[in-house]
Structure 1
Amino acid sequence: MAPYQYAERGKISPGKLFLDQDGNVAQLHGAGIQQFDGVYFAWGEDKRNGGTFGGVACYSSPDLASWTFRGQSLPVMEDVPELAADRVVERPKVLRNSEGNYVMFLHVDSRDYSDAKVGWAIAGQPEGPYEFIRAERPLGNVSRDIGVFADDDGTGFLLSEDREHGLQIYRLSDDYLSVDRLVSTTLAPESDHPLGAHGYESPAMVKVAGLYYLFGSDLTGWSTNDNKYATAQTPAGPWSEWQDFAPSGSATYDSQVSTIVSFAGTHGTGHVYVGDRWIRDDLFHSAPVWLPIHISGGKASLEWADEWVVDSGGAITA
């Protein structure tokens, strides 16, 4: 058995696995995290089946460190073709719409990644169960890794990896249940559009002091790389040049961005980088790499901490 390392409950230890209240490995791979009514909810890929669909697991936490398993928000369903055990279902992300419903977004695919669709599901509570609605290519474009973002006014955005064109940002309908329009497309610096067109995968976006920050990972398969970020005054861009936010050559501390979590505390707003350290042959035990990330004045920077917590006042203590 591999020498798996586990974080102490109530603490975040990058590179160590979280355990839930029953001592089971928390399946927080490719996770989406939101805070609703003072409680953090996380939805992750359940990797019990390795690279194919094992369900979307839901957890809750008061502090991003002590996780309680809330059940399968979206289990394997052999009678739903998109959710069968031989399918690929990744990157679960959730937004709460103006009607108070919880909308889950997914990368839904075939085992050879030829379908390249976005999936939608809906529920009346964060943990679900979610009702699967459909899977489609947004505006006809391929879509693999995804992220989501809700602006201050409730406007929702879908971030989508479309290597045929670039990293796409779509505006969602008011209820988040469909794509309204494409607002911007960005390419990696080395791209030679259209022949070598590609953007970044595993996208995430946050807004800080009126400025939008877009994060992504280069297309290097299972190997990690120096993830990048860009900034813009609006989601429509123009976006700045992409640059590192972790030390160059660190491969983002051997991880890939999944999302950026913002939280408000008595000491102001803080941000957490939520990343994955994938083990291709043992995805179930792939470790999370979650770290405080400083975002201010158009700059983002990530520094390593062996262990850290978010205290009751919302301050990050390493």
Structure 2
Amino acid sequence: MIKGKQRLAILLAFVLFTFHLAFSAQHVQATSNETKIAATLFVLKNESNVSNAKIHWAPVAGALTYELYRSVNDGPYLLLQTLAGTTTDDYGLNIGSTYRYEIKAYNGTALLAAVKSSEYVPYTLPNNLSTFDNTVQSTLKLPNQLKVGGTYYRFNFVQKPTGGFGQMIQQTSTDDIHYGNDQVVLSYTDHPDLANAKFEGINVLYHEATNQFVFWAHYENSTDYTLARVSVASATPGESFTFHKSFRPEGKESRDISIFVDDDDVAYLISTANNNSDTILYKLTADWLDVDTQVSLIYQNQHRELPKMIKQDGIYYLFSSQAAGWYPSIPLYSSATKIEGPWSDLRTIGNTSTFSAQSGSVFRVTPDTGKNVVMVAYRWMFGWAGTQNGTTEERLLPVWFSNGYAFYDYFDQVMYNSSDDKLVPVQNGKLLSQGKPATAQTTSGTNPATYANDGNYQTEWVGTGSSWPQWWKVDLGSAQQIQNVQISWWMQKGSEGFYRYTIETSTDNINWTVALDRTNNTSYGFTSDSLSGVTARYVRINMQNAKLHNNPNNWYTPRLWEVKVFGNDTNP
């Protein structure tokens, strides 16, 4: 769970979200005639130098190949790789040297686009880092920004025994570590609108000009989702809240919401409407207690949820998840140089399931001033059929930016230090499988096996028919020590399913060993499996079956978005 807030705002741990019935395309491959490139430096597991770069670039419409170039210490750009995908790794960089990258997109011999990156300087792994482990339930600890004078404030919510909102409880601290002094600052008896209510998407902000805590939330009655309102309350720090009202902004339905405060302290309400079909931006009044005016209809008929905005290098970025109930869904984002727009088209980011989560909150590692940004993606596992898991977990995804474009990827662990604005992803080995020869038991003509290891989360291998089991395999070229296998699984929105599978290995492509049995898997959309003591040239994913949450029969066609095999390269 998360402890900490975006600038002047927190998303409280007690948050429920609506199960929405909506529809949209299962897959969006957003391309344009331009591209941007950016990288993040990372450390290999058990090493001491942050001397590797994970490089991403935006796909270019019509591009068949990309050439990646690198410049060291302002020297000439030299060709590193020619690739089909939109990401790759660069290992063993020199500490203290300056690296820049350039990507060129081609269709045959025709150059479609070219762009250079910012500079990156590898460094020695610092001390005093905390670790967020994406493979288990972890806690992100960021400083509490709700501090007035020498007192930190946080708020918890308690339900009534019969369900619905019961009380809002304030706790205080002088060191942001030890909290107590519990005080009920809002109760269901305080206002008629609170007698039978529930809150979702809760935001609590401190408005310095008026010395007020301001509370905004999605408001519904405790039994259904027919009201589609926002609600607002306020309080002087340390005192009880006054509940002002629940209402529909300018008469429009409001469901998932968030509050964004700009550099000039003007606050905005981002609200989804029409059963999450539309996303609307409203400017708040100067005291942040009401809606002033609608600024922009950012999305129409796009069915997005959980809108979260951040401003980076003068550009606004809006992240959101596909409306898919509780299940992992497609993340998208858009950007604008002015908050009123125009906003870019929705663009793809990460893989097609937010790495088995939903797009969530975006935070600076060091609030207000930090440059490092993370996405806290939510795993609502209590709502996943077949998991027998009543919890909620998070995935921490480092985010990097390039002039209106954003990128993130998955790492098993992410180390950080909020005091020093440090963010260090940890990768369990080098990527061994990208671009290597791949085959499958069956293959459709337009989606070959090589699409599942081409370095592009948006292309897929597709088999033929719906017979199971089926396999996909990759030839690493020589025997390698295998440490981690990450698989981005295909899912159908509305009929999401998880896969039962085994990871099998061989040194000769004849004799096979089951390196890991995952026929008990219940994770939707993405899996990351660690292996130990496995040396192999060939890695085979044997898909036994897929279990759909709403259908006892598996009608899926076997297919995979991306398979990444990591390990110790014995032939560097």
Shorter-chain TM-score range: 0.7 to 0.9
Report the CA distance between 1:147 and its aligned residue. Answer: 0.5
Give yes or no for contact 1:310–1:317 (8 Å, CA) kept in 2: no
Letter in 2 for 1:12: F
- Counterpart amino acid of 2:199? V
Q: Which one of 181, 202, 205 corresponds to residue 293 of structure 2?
A: 181
Partner residue in 2 for 1:270:
372
Greater relative contact order (Cα < 8 A, sep 6+): 1
What is the distance in 2 between the residues matched to 1:63 and 1:283? 34
Q: How many residues align?
A: 285
User: The residue matched to 2:324 in structure 1 has which SS?
Assistant: coil
| Contact 1:39/1:61 (8 A) holds in 2 | yes
* 2:417 is aligned with 1:310: yes
Structure 1 residues 1-318: aligned runs within 5 Å: 11-14=131-134, 16-18=137-139, 34=145, 36=147, 52-53=164-165, 71=182, 76-78=187-189, 80-84=191-195, 87-97=197-207, 98-110=209-221, 111-125=223-237, 129-163=240-274, 166-187=278-299, 191=301, 198-246=302-350, 248-249=351-352, 251-264=353-366, 268-280=370-382, 285-305=391-411, 306-318=413-425
CA deviation after TM superposition for structure 1 residue 240, in Å: 0.5
Match of 2:132, SS state, is: coil
Q: State the secondary structure of the residue aligned to 1:285.
A: coil
Q: Name whichever structure is richer in strand by fraction.
A: 2
* Matched-pair contact (CA < 8 Å) for 2:310–2:317: yes
Deviates more, 1:273-282 or 1:179-188: 273-282
TM-score by length of 2: 0.43
> Which amino acid counterpart does residue 16 of structure 1 have in structure 2?
Q
Unpaired stretches in structure 1, ≥5 consecutive residues: 1-9, 21-32, 192-197
Q: Which residue of 2 aligns with 1:195?
A: none
The answer to which of 198-207 and 144-153 deviates more is: 198-207
Contact 1:267 1:313 in 2 (8 A): no
Shift of the alpha carbon at 1:232? 0.8
Alpha-carbon contact 1:46-1:284 (below 8 Å) kept:
no
1:45–1:92 CA contact under 8 A, matched in 2: no
SS across alignment from 1:308: strand
In 2, distance between residues paired with 1:113 and 1:229?
26
The CA deviation at 1:229 is 0.6
Give the TM-score normalised by the residue count of structure 1: 0.74
Could you say what the CA RMSD is over the residues aligned between the two structures, in angstroms? 3.8
Matched position secondary structure for 2:354: helix
Residue 78 of structure 1 and its aligned partner are, at CA, apart by 4.2
Q: Contact 2:199–2:220 at 8 Å: present in 1 too?
A: yes
Say whether the 8 Å CA contact 1:266–1:315 is kept in structure 2: no
The one-letter code of the counterpart of 2:409 is E
